[in-house]
Structure 1
Amino acid sequence: MAVVASVLVGLAALLHVYIWYMESLAWRTPAIWKRFGLASQADADTTAPLAYNQGFYNLFLAIGAGLGVILYWAGARDAGFALAVFSAASMFAASLVLLSTGRSRLRAAATQGTLPLLGLIFFVLS
């Protein structure tokens, strides 16, 4: 089960790196700001500093999850487990926060939260 958990948490980390890219580097491109429901380039420009900051939160969670998996398999199982579980739980909790902003965010919350939730479950069961 630890292998499945590691794969799921690793995929969640990669997804959060992609979210970092969208929010912190590509926010002002129309394809990205439209994906996040913004109506105009002016809206994207106005919200860019907030998205930039939020993107780095996603990157830090991704780094924690990835490092946790690496440590787990490198022999520091307790530290790796703790870091991977904390990061996955934080990712899942963030998806619940996103969902709390409205039912229209259900798809985004499910995308953001499913992999870390499954990884968390499998790590706890391993």
Structure 2
Amino acid sequence: MAIVASVLVGLAALLHVYIWYMESVRWRTPAIWKRFGLASQADADTTAPLAYNQGFYNLFLAVGAALGVILYWTDARDAGFALAVFSAGSMFAAAVVLLSTGRSRLRAAATQGTLPLLGVVFFLLALAF
């Protein structure tokens, strides 16, 4: 269970690094801002500071999740568990918040939230067994 949880949380971390890249590095690229539902380059330019900031939130969650998984497999198992579950749980919570903005965000919320949710579930199962 712990191996599956670690892989899922690790994949969630990688996904959130990619989200950081899109939001903080490539935001003004038409392919990216269109993916996020913006209508124009002007909209992308206007929202770039917000996206930049949001991207770093995703990066920090990814770092926390990855560090948690690494620590879990060392002598700091309890700290790793707490950090991995907290970070992945925060990723899932962010997906729920995204979904609360409208049904049109269902696909994005599912993409963002499924791996971390499953990772948390499997870490909790690993704790129970």
TM score, norm. by length of structure 1: 0.99
Structure 2: stretches of 5+ with no match in the other structure = none
Match of 2:125 in 1: 125
Other-structure match for 1:26: 26
Gaps of 5+ in 1: none
Q: Deviations over 1:90-113 (max 9, x none)?
A: 000000000000000000000000
**Structure 1 equivalent of residue 63 of structure 2:** 63
Name segments (4+ residues, structure 1) moved above 4 Å.
none
Paired residue type of 2:60: F
**Cα RMSD, aligned residues only:** 0.3
- The 5-angstrom pairing of residues 97-112 of structure 1 reads 97-112=97-112
1:76 matched to 2:76? yes
Which residue in 1 is equivalent to 2:86?
86
Whole-angstrom distance in 2 between the partners of 1:112 and 1:66: 16
TM-score in terms of structure 2 length: 0.97
Give the Cα separation in 1 of the matches to 2:18 and 2:11. 11
Identity of aligned residues (%): 89
CA drift at 1:65: 0.1
Provide the rounded CA distance (Å) in 2 between the counterparts of 1:30 and 1:75: 46
Q: Which letter maps to 1:31?
A: A
SS at match of 1:74: coil
